[in-house]
Amino acid sequence: MDLNPDSTAAHPPVPVVEKKGAAAQLVNTLHRLQGDPLAFVKRMAREPGDLVYYRLWRQDVFLAKHPDLIRDVLVTNQHDYAKGAGLQWAKRFLGEGLLTSEGDVHTRQRRLSQPAFHRQRIGSYATVMADYAARCGEGLREGALFDMHAAMMGLTLAVAAKTMCDADVGSESAEIGEALTDVISVFPRFVLPFAGLLHRLPLPATRRFERARDRLDKVVYRMIEDRRRSGEDRGDLLSMLLMARDEDGSRMSDTQLRDEVMTLFLAGHETTANALSWTWYLLAHNPEAEVLLHEEIDTVLGGRRPVFEDLPRLRYAEMVLAESMRLYPPAWGLGRRSRHDQVLGGIAIPVDALVLMSPYLIQRDPRFFPDPLRFDPTRFTPEAKASRPKFAYFPFGGGARQCIGEPFAWMEGVLVLSTLAQRWRFRLDSTARVEPQALITLRPRRGVPMRGERRR
Ligand code: HEM
């Protein structure tokens, strides 16, 4: 690391600015940010040093490139930072849900929601995950071209609707699915770290977004009302949240419940679909890893469908998923805003500066992952993990705002991977040009065209 944490705070390093008129520069930058924010961040990362400074119009932007700096922002000094400006806009949709709330509201909501995500509790969802994955496999035709990304989006949405609201595939989940798809198609551009600038622009997509949000609101409020009336525990996340009581006996209001349900749908469904899509893509390119995965599945499961108790023995599947999220982290960039003037890695950070942290960049840094572009699941053996700084790998963030759905995501990822790979081997279509598109999540632009070959 080339920043000296003991030195007295220096002024920010020389900013990376373009030699053009300010207005032209802003328009140019906004264009690039909307089109390809990852390329923009990668370009910033080429500058020397572990903390790179960029002046974007009136916004001070710092890109942190070292795990120690990530730990400082996410854990050690987390109270000195707030969520980025983009998430402020996201409140229009997510209200005061876990992802967007701050301070005492966040602490209370997190305390109330946490029990719903304990590993044992979510263990009861394993059957849904494996059954739905098996159903997805049964819908495939050998040799037929299909879009793996669309298939994974459909699958994770069905799992989310069932486990969160006990909504079965059918009218309710179709209604949720449609409205959510509309929201997702527009939402990302408003929650980029720079959305503070973007959302002031008159974008036509805003209306479409608001209509979809109103439709979703109707469905979710109706479900909450039905549930309150029947008082029934359906074993899903909504029931858990409805029953949750704070120490003083208080419960969540309808609005809080609505905000949490929306948050879980949005935070949990596309991220997991992306992780799975990239995993199938990487396996198609790495047949040795694919063979090892098939061997593990055949040995552990012997042809039967996986259950919760199998998870500790599906170690290689978990390492494959971990390595896939190293190369293609679904949440590729996290942002924080400094609450006051402070020092990060020996550099002075002014109040309201935006600090960007990208798992995509750090997880491809050869200092922490030698030969970084090589797909190698053995980077995730316990010994290999112990040899790296903790925040060299942070696809689920860290500190008090670490992903609450992480155990859910690992479980769904491993079960879907094992259920489908037990019966199928997937090959990329020879004409496929798969490339990442970084909006709020890192998704495959134009999908992942594949064909399935039956294994058994
Ligand atoms: C592979 C899948 C997933 C990835 C990569 C992922 C990643 C993340 C990351 C990086 C954060 C922290 C954001 C920040 O600090 O700014 C986060 C937060 C969150 N995630 Fe996930 N997530 C995944 C799946 C899920 C699932 C399945 C759920 C719910 C069932 C979920 C619910 C949430 C919630 C509610 C938060 C906000 C937590 C808080 O601030 O207290 N995520 N996620």
**pLDDT tens for each residue of 257-296:** 999 998 998 888 889 999 999 999 999 999 999 999 999 9
- d(CA 41, CA 357) in angstroms, rounded, equals 10
Q: What pLDDT, in 10s, does the model give residues 325-352?
A: 999 999 999 999 999 999 999 999 999 9
Higher pLDDT among residues 269 and 390, named by residue: 390
Tokens of residue 230, six digits:
């029947």
CA of 20 to the centre of ligand 1 (A): 39
Band of residue 230 on the pLDDT scale cut at 50, 70, 90: confident
Higher pLDDT among residues 37 and 221, named by residue: 221
* CATH (one of 1.10.630.10, 1.10.3860.10, 1.10.3720.10, 3.90.1300.10) for 22-454: 1.10.630.10
Rounded to a whole number of angstroms, the distance between the first and last alpha carbons of the chain is 50
Residue 2 scores a pLDDT above 50: no
Residue 388 scores a pLDDT above 90: yes
Atom of ligand 1 nearest to the CA of 101: 40
For 414-433, what is the mean pLDDT? 96
For 357-368, what is the mean pLDDT? 97
Band of residue 11 on the pLDDT scale cut at 50, 70, 90: very low
**Closest residue (by CA) to atom 13 of ligand 1?**
397
pLDDT of residue 12: 42
For 352-361, what is the mean pLDDT? 95
**Quick one: DSSP state of residue 115?**
G
CA of 291 to the centre of ligand 1 (A): 31
Instruction: Select from 259, 357, 403, 443 the residue to mutate for testing ligand 1; criterion: most ligand atoms less than 8 Å from CB.
Output: 403
Closest CA relative to residue 233, chosen from 243, 219, 225:
243
Atom of ligand 1 nearest to the CA of 99: 37
Highest mean pLDDT: which range of 110-119, 159-168, 355-364? 355-364
Residue 14 scores a pLDDT above 50: no
Residue 16 scores a pLDDT above 90: no
CA of 167 to the centre of ligand 1 (A): 22
Band of residue 183 on the pLDDT scale cut at 50, 70, 90: confident
CA of 99 to the centre of ligand 1 (A): 8
Facing residues of 145 across strands? Answer: 451
Residue 27 scores a pLDDT above 80: no
pLDDT of residue 9: 41
pLDDT of residue 109: 92
pLDDT of residue 171: 61
For 307-322, what is the mean pLDDT? 98
CA of 142 to the centre of ligand 1 (A): 35
- d(CA 81, CA 64) in angstroms, rounded, equals 14
Band of residue 166 on the pLDDT scale cut at 50, 70, 90: confident
* Long-range contact set of residues 290-293: C-beta below 8 Å, sequence gap at least 24: 290/421, 290/425, 292/316, 292/377, 293/317, 293/320, 293/417, 293/421
**Quick one: DSSP state of residue 51?**
E
pLDDT of residue 176: 74
For 55-59, what is the mean pLDDT? 80
Band of residue 432 on the pLDDT scale cut at 50, 70, 90: confident
Locate the domains of the chain by residue range. Answer: 22-454
CA of 429 to the centre of ligand 1 (A): 31
CB contact at 8 A, 270 and 184: yes
Q: What pLDDT, in 10s, does the model give residues 75-123?
A: 999 999 998 766 776 787 889 999 999 999 999 999 999 988 888 788 9
Residue 198 scores a pLDDT above 70: no
pLDDT of residue 213: 85
For 1-26, what is the mean pLDDT? 42
Atom of ligand 1 nearest to the CA of 399: 15
- d(CA 216, CA 207) in angstroms, rounded, equals 14
pLDDT of residue 32: 56
Closest CA relative to residue 409, chosen from 320, 327, 297, 321:
321
Atom of ligand 1 nearest to the CA of 74: 15
Band of residue 5 on the pLDDT scale cut at 50, 70, 90: very low
Which residues of 132-239 form beta strands (DSSP E)? 145-147
pLDDT of residue 139: 94
From residue 448, alpha-carbon distances to 187, 281, 321, 339 in Å are 22, 7, 17, 41
pLDDT of residue 141: 96
Residue 449 scores a pLDDT above 80: yes
